[in-house]
Amino acid sequence: MLRRFSPRNPNKREQLSSRQIFILILCAVIAGIFLLRIPAKEANPLASDTLVTLHIPRGAPFTQIADSLIQQGLIESRRRFYWSARLKGKTDELQAGTYRVPGGLSYGKLVNFLSVAQPLQIRVTIPEGLEFEETAILLSKHFSFSAEDFAAYKDSAHLFHLPFEISSLEGFLYPETYDFYENASPREIIRRLIRQFLVEVDDSLRQVIRQKGKTVEEIITVASIIQGEAMIHDEMPVIASVYYNRLKRGMKLQADPTIQYIVPGPKIRLRQRHLEINSPYNTYLYRGLPPGPVNSPGRDAILAAVFPDTTKYLYFVARGDGSHVFSRTHREHLKAKAAFQQVRWEVYRQQQREKAPSP
């Protein structure tokens, strides 16, 4: 008769597996301690007052980070650095960016430093009157993202939860000087610019805008046109009055900044053919405001749009020195235009004389 096999301890195999796992963990800990005994000293011979610039690219794997540390003289052993980060559970906590790393750190202290250090900051000035795409190009020269990556957010106002409705982010990237971390993303930068916009156009100013029966987007649209026209800030409230007077009378705004907005590329001297471009932004063809802002206006232009001067002016033309001549009637305006054309002609003749070869 066959005997049924009955093991004395049915859990023996499981107990052995657990012991094996425990032994493996113990060996790993002992190996880690052994490897870290020497790295507990300085990981490099650099003096403690030495600062080394280290750049960690976005998405760089741990091995690439270690190679960069070796190249910069901050570590001598890739393996010891790995085990230092592994035992601290920080192999995935070394962030992209550019850092100033002090010399003379141990492997463990170097891991701690890189896991909590803030990247270097970049100071960027965004001028008044830039279009969204122009801002994207400017920022792409300072950061690792492309202008296209930044510009892709133009029609994503819903991502930033503004307290009012807008059709796009054009006009709402507040022009100012900012300090950003070197690894800042387009979304982080846009959020910062919008936050500054909400500081400048705060609740009290938005309440005034509502009391005037206007929306924030309408005010910023007018402000952007003023920003594009004015070189002298004291003239901004007067220019605002001209546009509001024309709107009240049902006249076309005939604002050059709205044409510049639909002409691709850098700002140019407008010709008659540009004034005939069929676009809702063409205020020479269509009455009323364009669909939205045409650039990001500064505070003076915004305040001028909210608090315009009270005038009867309907026209203005450049003098040639940055200021404007304002007129109430079309006849006065034609005289002012003729005077400006004379100034322009004199400038042209002077340029031709300067180019002519001397006898």
CATH number of the domain where residue 92 is located: 3.30.1490.480
Section 112-125 average pLDDT: 88
CA–CA separation, 300 and 229 (whole Å): 13
- Position 220 in a domain: no
Are residues 132 and 172 both part of a single domain?
A: yes
CA–CA separation, 177 and 186 (whole Å): 16
Domain boundary among 180, 200, 220: 200
- Position 333 in a domain: yes
User: Which sign does the torsion angle of CA 190, 123, 147, 99 carry?
Assistant: negative
CA–CA separation, 253 and 290 (whole Å): 9
- Position 347 in a domain: yes
pLDDT at 110 over 80: yes
pLDDT at 173 over 80: yes
Q: In this predicted structure, which of 67-71, 134-138, 353-357 has the lowest mean pLDDT? A: 353-357
pLDDT at 16 over 90: no
Indicate the Cα dihedral angle 301, 303, 305, 309, nearest 10°. Answer: -110
Q: Tokens 């859990």, residue? A: 11
Q: Which domain holds residue 77?
A: 51-116
Tell me how far CA of residue 225 lies from CA of 193, 219, 242, 261, 290, in angstroms. Answer: 20, 10, 12, 10, 10
- Position 90 in a domain: yes
Are residues 130 and 112 both part of a single domain?
A: no
Section 105-121 average pLDDT: 87
CA–CA separation, 249 and 255 (whole Å): 16
Are residues 141 and 108 both part of a single domain?
A: no
Are residues 169 and 140 both part of a single domain?
A: yes
Are residues 111 and 126 both part of a single domain?
A: no
What is the pLDDT of the chain when averaged over all its residues? 88
CA–CA separation, 339 and 319 (whole Å): 8
Are residues 136 and 110 both part of a single domain?
A: no
- Position 249 in a domain: no
Residues 6+ apart with CB under 8 A from 167: 157, 217, 291, 292
- Position 192 in a domain: yes
Proportion of the chain above pLDDT 70, given as a percent: 86
Per the model's pLDDT, the better-predicted residue between 35 and 172 turns out to be 172
Are residues 74 and 125 both part of a single domain?
A: no
Are residues 129 and 180 both part of a single domain?
A: yes
Each residue's pLDDT tens digit, 42-95 = 667 788 778 888 888 878 899 899 998 998 888 888 899 999 888 888 888 888
pLDDT at 302 over 50: yes
The CA-CA-CA angle for residues 333, 273, 241, to 5°, reads 35
What's the number of domains the chain is made of?
A: 3
Q: Is 299 helix (H, G, I), strand (E, B) or coil?
A: helix
Number of Cβ within a 10 Å radius of residue 228: 24
What confidence score (pLDDT) does residue 32 get? 57
Are residues 90 and 137 both part of a single domain?
A: no
Per the model's pLDDT, the better-predicted residue between 344 and 215 turns out to be 215
* Token pair for 142: 């300072």
Domain boundary among 200, 215, 245: 200
- CB of 227 closer than 8 Å to CB of 299: no
Q: In this predicted structure, which of 127-131, 191-195, 353-357 has the lowest mean pLDDT? A: 353-357
CA–CA separation, 284 and 255 (whole Å): 7
Domain boundary among 200, 227, 248: 200
- Position 266 in a domain: no
Each residue's pLDDT tens digit, 197-243 = 999 999 999 999 999 999 999 999 999 999 999 999 999 999 999 99
